[in-house]
Structure 1
Amino acid sequence: MAEQRIPPTPNNFAVWFHYFVGDHDDLRHAVDLLIDHNRPFDNRTNQDLFETYIAPDADVVALETSERLHALMGTAKEFLATAIADNHSQMQAISNVADQSQAGVDPRALVAQLMNELARAATRATQLEAGFAEKTRELDVIRDSLSKSEERARTDTLTGLANRRALDEFLRKAQATAEWGEPLSVLMLDIDHFKTFNDNFGHGVGDQVLRLMAKVLRDKVRKHDLPARYGGEELIAVMPDADLGACADIAERIRRSIAECTITRRSTGEVLPNITVSIGVAQYRTDEAIADLIERCDRALYLAKGGGRNRVVTENELDRAWAAG
């Protein structure tokens, strides 16, 4: 942590403890990738790592939900036991009326007694029905809470895009499909000179810009693609059923759209300098590890930055750059 200049906060300690003991493969891979590419462990990256791979809130929600379900099931058992007891009581009462009818008791008294028992049974049934309806509504609340908790656990809080956890899950599924011959491509974009922009205008404005980049990415990719926040100011899109050329075309539309954006500082109305992005594009190769695909895309991104920024570079240019180099 000292070598990477990471502040010794409890959340950061939790991340690096699990990294050190090696009990979380996805976390280890993510940190190793950041280190290998000399990425800074700034506050935003550290928070992303914690929220994506440690995420204690999910455990808290799970515990609270478990306790609520336990109490709900206990109440449901009580309702059922009451219903069974009431049924036995009602059957016994009706049986008693039947016995009295055979003994020659006044029919009017028997009818009154029978109507009274049926009215009591109807009242109990109505009360039980109301109780079950209430518990059904509570179940709906619990289901909604679990759904929202799951969504939060898979969403980056700043940009609203998928986070690393959701990205890794989507990539694994997309890889399985790609092994059957379907194309799979990814694009990765990084905001040019973002550190300088943050230094000049502050992290609040930087966050505003990052949210704008995320919106452009979300709007330009297809419905079945996954736009996600990869880390820091890097965003990524996974594109099933898209070859390298199709992915590069979408990447170019994203680049142009961002370059044409006019960004206004909310607090003052000041028009800020134009923002540009560099984008790398790569296509999955059969039987390769997903990490190799991402690494190749990342190298294409940095070739775009080294080539002057504000451009799209595909993995094909990596081979040409290597041959020329």
Structure 2
Amino acid sequence: MTDDTLDEVDFEYATAVAEKAMQSMAQQRVPPTPNNFHVWFKYSLGTSPDLRRAIDILIGNKRKFDATTNRGLFATYVGSRGADDAAAYGASQQLHSVMTTAKQFLTTAIADNHSQIRAINDVADRSEAGVDPKLLVESLMNELTKAATRATKLEMSFVEKTRELDAIRDSLSKSEERARTDTLTGLPNRRALDEFFRDAQIAAMESGEPLSAFLIDIDHFKKVNDNFGHGVGDQVLRLMAKALQERVREGDLPARYGGEELIAVLPGAGLATCRAIAERIRRAISKCHITRRSTGENLPGITVSIGVGLFQPGESMMDLIERCDRALYLAKETGRNRVVTENELASERAAG
């Protein structure tokens, strides 16, 4: 059963699932809000293995289902998947059309085979009746020729449909790649980031290993666009993306988050490791020299500010990014061209 069938389940079954969801929420002291109920109904229904694993891990670790955790579960596992569903539906329709045609070919082949068997049996019966052997041979050759002709046509049709299937597969592969890639920087986009984080989140909660992220913002990027044009701004973004992609570890995900902001998610990395990698990237970018392609003019140096955060079990990606963003803002406030971690946010509040 999938989410699409929720509206189609019978009343008794839906009621039983709802009661089970409410009991589980009461046991874990989860407030019965609409969003929370949606999460736990889906959990009780069993339609999302990832959601079940995440909640079971949280329960096993005796984690409290506070407002942050509940909001994270809803944002991560119940958010709209409309675009993905539409793409999957379109591919399904294409494949259904090809498979229907292939089924028709097979039906025709089976029917032809039966006709051929009947014709051969008829020749055998006529041979027993003493019909001229020459006529029998001619009849048999005629049937075999017809069968060979039909088989050749069917083979050609199957070859054509195989090509169509290959084309659909290639098209889907390219569409999937485009759908997951930012066209300007070539980095994974927000959709790919969401999917990667969802898997990394579950893995971190299962293993107990850390999961961290950092958010990068180009300092004074608006001045670059205003003074040199958006073409130069795009060139700077591509350079930042290249510097990021070349310096994260294998298994990390660098991505474009939006505007001039880039992000990296680092499975297995604690705050210190994540900060060290972010600092390496900051230094590399500060040493870059950018030349305006149209004139050969050397641009002023480019710097970035970076905010680093550590994932807390059960929270959503947005909660983690929000802390990275606050750390990034602190980096901007305290001089730019620096890396700030979420730990420094607490120090700043204490000092204030």
TM-score (norm 2): 0.71
**CA distance, structure 2, for counterparts of residue 177 and residue 68 of structure 1:** 35
Cα distance 1:56–1:270, how it changes in 2: closer, same or farther (>3 A)? farther
Match of 2:120 among 79, 82, 94: 94
Structure 2 equivalent of residue 43 of structure 1:
none
Instruction: Tell me by how many angstroms 1:215 deviates.
Output: 1.4
Instruction: Tell me by how many angstroms 1:260 deviates.
Output: 1.4
Instruction: Tell me by how many angstroms 1:194 deviates.
Output: 0.4
Does residue 1:223 correspond to 2:250, yes or no? yes
SS in 2 for 1:179: helix
Does residue 1:177 correspond to 2:203, yes or no? yes
Instruction: Tell me by how many angstroms 1:150 deviates.
Output: 2.2
AA of the residue aligned to 1:314: T
AA of the residue aligned to 1:221: V
Does residue 1:158 correspond to 2:184, yes or no? yes
Does residue 1:72 correspond to 2:98, yes or no? yes
Residues 244, 283 of structure 1: 8 Å contact kept = yes
Does residue 1:194 correspond to 2:194, yes or no? no
- What whole-Å deviation, never above 9, does each CA across 1:202-233 have from its counterpart, x for those lacking one? 11110111111111111111232111111111
AA of the residue aligned to 1:124: R
Instruction: Tell me by how many angstroms 1:274 deviates.
Output: 1.4
Range that drifts further, 62-71 or 286-295: 62-71
**CA distance, structure 2, for counterparts of residue 66 and residue 145 of structure 1:** 13
Does residue 1:282 correspond to 2:306, yes or no? no
SS in 1 for 2:217: strand
Range that drifts further, 85-94 or 113-122: 113-122
Identity %: 70
Instruction: Tell me by how many angstroms 1:234 deviates.
Output: 0.7
Does residue 1:212 correspond to 2:239, yes or no? yes
Structure 2 equivalent of residue 306 of structure 1:
333
**CA distance, structure 1, for counterparts of residue 241 and residue 305 of structure 2:** 14
**CA distance, structure 2, for counterparts of residue 233 and residue 58 of structure 1:** 29
What is the Cα-based RMSD across aligned positions, in Å? Answer: 2.5
Range that drifts further, 65-74 or 307-316: 65-74
Equivalenced residue count is 274
Q: How does 1:125-140 map to 2 (within 5 A)?
A: 125-140=151-166
Structure 2 equivalent of residue 265 of structure 1:
292
**CA distance, structure 2, for counterparts of residue 294 and residue 158 of structure 1:** 22
Cα distance 1:270–1:54, how it changes in 2: closer, same or farther (>3 A)? farther
Residues 58, 153 of structure 1: 8 Å contact kept = no
Structure 2 equivalent of residue 144 of structure 1:
170
- What whole-Å deviation, never above 9, does each CA across 1:164-204 have from its counterpart, x for those lacking one? 22222222221111112011000110001101111100111
Instruction: Tell me by how many angstroms 1:292 deviates.
Output: 2.5
Structure 1 equivalent of residue 318 of structure 2:
291
Please, which runs of 5 or more residues in structure 1 have no aligned partner? 1-21, 23-52
**CA distance, structure 1, for counterparts of residue 283 and residue 136 of structure 2:** 88
Does residue 1:318 correspond to 2:345, yes or no? yes
Please, which runs of 5 or more residues in structure 2 have no aligned partner? 1-34, 36-79
Match of 1:246 among 268, 273, 283: 273
**CA distance, structure 1, for counterparts of residue 160 and residue 338 of structure 2:** 58
- What whole-Å deviation, never above 9, does each CA across 1:272-291 have from its counterpart, x for those lacking one? 11111111111112333433
TM-score (norm 1): 0.77
